[in-house]
Amino acid sequence: MASFPCSIVVVCLAVSLLLASSMVPCAANFNQGFDITWGDGRGKMFNGDELLTLSLDKTSGSGFQSKNQYLFGKIDMQLKLVPGNSAGTVTAYYLSSQGSTHDEIDFEFLGNSSGDPYTLHTNVYSQGKGEREQQFCLWFDPSADFHTYSILWNPKSIVFSVDGIPVREFRNMESIGIPYPKNQPMRLYSSIWNADDWATRGGLVKTDWTQAPFTTSYRNFRAEACVWFSPGSTSCGSLESGYNTWRSLELGAVGQQRLRWVQNNHMIYNYCTDTKRFPHGFPPECKV
């Protein structure tokens, strides 16, 4: 799907408590929690494994994945994206299971020409079906400093947040026949790669390899989650019993207001309003 260009918008936000309750996440350094899986040395760890970088050049990109698989959780990571002219590049940060009927929860950051905002691309797959894209213009320069990108995934809903501000919610709508990710454990992945056939202005702006290597940095991974051991066995015990704060989290009134504000002011694409793509009617979840 082609990306939609952002116009520059600068907004100051006072970040307040957005969720109905709070949590205290656990930290893990990258060597303990992740494996760099590809890139032939383009993925590196620094500062006692508290900082990880992934790089892309004309030969290859790079990526990593979590050692653990999770079945529900609250995942936070701080990213600082490629600065300057990053047109054509994509940094992906997502949860995913395996197989043709996989589940997936995606953040993707689509590169830009110098001076243009990044496009934040989101998607949700359940049982192999995706095509649920929403895109946003970020209200800050994500390459100037680290910002926190969070995925809350529990039996009730999936919430995408940026610096604690919810940008998207995908609710469990199994009651109307919409599959929901709830049975397949997922690893956390991230990668940087070349996608200049579509990533920037629908592929009109190509990667400028004289600017390579392109580097994204990561720090302060946090996860409060059920670590998957085997079918029916997780670090949370029975998935049908017990209490975990993040498992009961929902957007409160303030969170819903912030979500509407972001979607009204910073959303640039919503599959649920794309009549050209769905001329015979929108997917059923769009009607809720």
- Indicate the pairing of strand 119-125 with strand 104-110: antiparallel
| Distance in angstroms (rounded) separating the CA atoms of residues 8 and 137 | 8
| Residues facing residue 18 across a β-bridge | none
Please give the pLDDT value at position 2.
52
| Distance in angstroms (rounded) separating the CA atoms of residues 271 and 93 | 20
Look at residue 230 and give its three-state secondary structure.
strand
List the one residue out of 92, 54, 58, 62 whose CA is nearest residue 207.
Answer: 58
Question: Averaged over 168-196, what is the pLDDT?
Answer: 96
Q: Which two tokens stand for residue 205?
A: 């702006």
Question: Averaged over 117-145, what is the pLDDT?
Answer: 95
Binned at pLDDT 50, 70 and 90, residue 5 comes out as low
Q: What is the full DSSP assignment across 7-73?
A: PP----------BSS----EE--HHHHEEEEESTT-EEEETTTTEEEEEE-SS--EEEEESS-EEEE
CB atoms near residue 63 (< 10 Å) = 18
Cβ atoms 147, 140 nearer than 8 A: yes
Please give the pLDDT value at position 8.
39
Residue 80 Cα distances to 62, 104, 164, 219, angstroms: 16, 22, 16, 9
Binned at pLDDT 50, 70 and 90, residue 199 comes out as confident
**For residue 202, what are the contacts with CB-CB under 8 A and spacing of at least 6?**
2, 3
| Distance in angstroms (rounded) separating the CA atoms of residues 71 and 155 | 10
Look at residue 262 and give its three-state secondary structure.
helix
| Distance in angstroms (rounded) separating the CA atoms of residues 126 and 27 | 28
pLDDT in tens, 147-161: 999 999 999 999 999
- Say which DSSP state 179 is in: -
**For residue 158, what are the contacts with CB-CB under 8 A and spacing of at least 6?**
105, 124, 151, 152, 169, 170, 171, 181
Question: Averaged over 229-248, what is the pLDDT?
Answer: 71
Question: Averaged over 228-247, what is the pLDDT?
Answer: 72
CB atoms near residue 274 (< 10 Å) = 14
Backbone angles phi, psi at 188, to 5 degrees: -95, 130
Assess whether pLDDT exceeds 70 at residue 134. Answer: yes
| Distance in angstroms (rounded) separating the CA atoms of residues 160 and 218 | 18
Whole-model pTM? Answer: 0.89
Length of the chain: 288
Q: What CATH code is assigned to 30-232+246-286?
A: 2.60.120.200
- State the DSSP H helix or E strand holding residue 253, giving kind and residue range, or none if neither: helix 253-265
Supply the residues annotated as catalytic. 104, 108
Binned at pLDDT 50, 70 and 90, residue 137 comes out as very high
| Type of residue at 216 | T
